[in-house]
Structure 1
């Protein structure tokens, strides 16, 4: 018997939907589609309309960038003003009559990589997404770590340099200010992060110096996370974190760093394998109660 779990990952410009058949071992994606996002529209109504196009489904999970409370209220989001302070889960569930869960998109991606991706079978794992900003999610003892308010996993706003560079959140010295795409561009004097990476791949000495400095900032945060969570595995994802050359350099600097302790091996550091589908796939699993 099919158990159809709908996962929806709402991005700033695109919304990705997948249906996961949860009746098979690990789960299998059986349907997928992408639609434009209306950032100022009625998100609850849009989700309900989308869900109804998939026919019979058993649950709905929604991933969204921002702070999402345990009740499924979107407390803070920068790219979707239409859902800010909205009881999204309650509205969607009442109209569909189905179990509905709303969570942070990076947490959803972490669940996907844990269930069927790079960290499959590892019950103490972290996912860190390195893109425009830094997101993340933690699996601790085979359970998703959400925290008291539901805001766990905001790794990018861990302070790594007191009084340091300004962060988009309004504070200074956040890890995101150094180890994201924006941080890489700042280290390069304003050159776009993709351009810096391409020059690095071409062997440019200045770009190599900048990317190595960037990798060292990534490692600072990773070592902090190791000391907090003691994971067996860290999965790197996102636009920068999924690039093999970046993962390789970060892995080398991570192993050479000073984050370990006598008697404890560092966790494995691996690249995410599910790509842009991870958020939607993880949302489907979260909607099922993961």
Structure 2
């Protein structure tokens, strides 16, 4: 029987809360040990550290009123220290050198654990989704920006200082589009939800799309366009939206070719909000990747799959981080 509030959460409880904290939205879910989401809340990402922590407290409190949970996991879009106790920096969030797990543990009275959001998605896909069976796997989370999780020989790779890999901020266009990280021409500025919007606006400024609904909408209110709106328009056959996805597929294939030259994965999984719409661009991206990789035609290429978990990968992975962290605490106390 599933635990409800009042049943008494214990270190052995199967239920944890996973919270995926992105640059655009915060999504919190109660997740069981099989990776199934039982309850989900979603809200816009607050602009300040204080308001973001208040938001997390509110979401967890609301879910705890309905479910008996044992711990909370945070999937954070930013750099964490190797012990994952401090958020050093995030291009899209307000935390700077912030001991977020400790702060939220005090506020909630529950153990709180943190992980990079892309690593969380990678863990979810490894345990419950499309990365199962992969040996050296890249999980590329494409949403507001690009996050990446690398699984090497079946284990998550974080690098020497806990920040690997930051593929989204590889420079692909010198002096290109400005990025919130402070650089210009980063890969995620051409291959992400926000990049889709910028590409649509550039295309509309330089080309005539008389049958495009997005053209009319952007003329009325340029700020109304979002990555989700572009995805919906592309699914409806909007020519400007489809052209933007063609451009993104080109950049995705180009970037994957670079990564394959370094990492040589056998499996690539596309996750995140944009990755969940991979049917709009995956075939084109495969072709661009095959052409971009060094030694094209004379080497084996990685399989490229769309996510099995969709946008839920971050929350499911964060809940798994909480479950594993709690188990380590219990083992350490015995």
Q: TM class by shorter-chain length?
A: 0.7 to 0.9
Q: Among 70, 74, 80, which residue is 2:87 paired with?
A: 74
Q: Provide the C-alpha distance between the structure 2 equivalents of 1:282 and 1:43, rounded to a whole number of angstroms.
A: 20
In the alignment, which residue of structure 2 is the partner of 1:219?
253
Distance verdict in 2 for CA 1:100–1:259, change over 3 Å: farther
In the alignment, which residue of structure 1 is the partner of 2:155?
143
In the alignment, which residue of structure 2 is the partner of 1:3?
14
Q: Secondary structure at the match of 1:19?
A: strand
Q: Among 87, 101, 108, which residue is 2:113 paired with?
A: 101
Offset of 1:241 from its aligned partner?
Answer: 2.5
Max radius of gyration: which structure? 2
Is residue 130 of structure 2 the alignment partner of residue 118 of structure 1?
Answer: yes
Q: Secondary structure at the match of 2:140?
A: strand
Q: Provide the C-alpha distance between the structure 2 equivalents of 1:78 and 1:234, rounded to a whole number of angstroms.
A: 24
Greater CA drift, 178-187 or 67-76:
178-187
Q: Among 287, 308, 318, which residue is 1:252 paired with?
A: 287
Offset of 1:64 from its aligned partner?
Answer: 2.0
TM-score (norm 1): 0.81
Whichever structure has more helix as a proportion of its residues is 2
In the alignment, which residue of structure 1 is the partner of 2:29?
18
Q: Provide the C-alpha distance between the structure 2 equivalents of 1:196 and 1:14, rounded to a whole number of angstroms.
A: 17
Q: Secondary structure at the match of 2:179?
A: coil
Q: Provide the C-alpha distance between the structure 2 equivalents of 1:200 and 1:45, rounded to a whole number of angstroms.
A: 37
Offset of 1:13 from its aligned partner?
Answer: 6.2
Q: Provide the C-alpha distance between the structure 2 equivalents of 1:256 and 1:201, rounded to a whole number of angstroms.
A: 29
In the alignment, which residue of structure 1 is the partner of 2:144?
132
RMSD between aligned residues: 3.2
Offset of 1:117 from its aligned partner?
Answer: 0.9
**Structure 2: gaps spanning 5 or more residues:** 1-11, 205-224, 326-334
Q: Provide the C-alpha distance between the structure 2 equivalents of 1:98 and 1:74, rounded to a whole number of angstroms.
A: 19
What is the 5 A alignment of 1:18-97? 18-22=29-33, 27-29=34-36, 31-36=38-43, 39=46, 40=48, 41=50, 43=52, 47=56, 50=60, 52-53=64-65, 56-70=68-82, 71-81=84-94, 83-94=95-106
TM-score (norm 2): 0.72
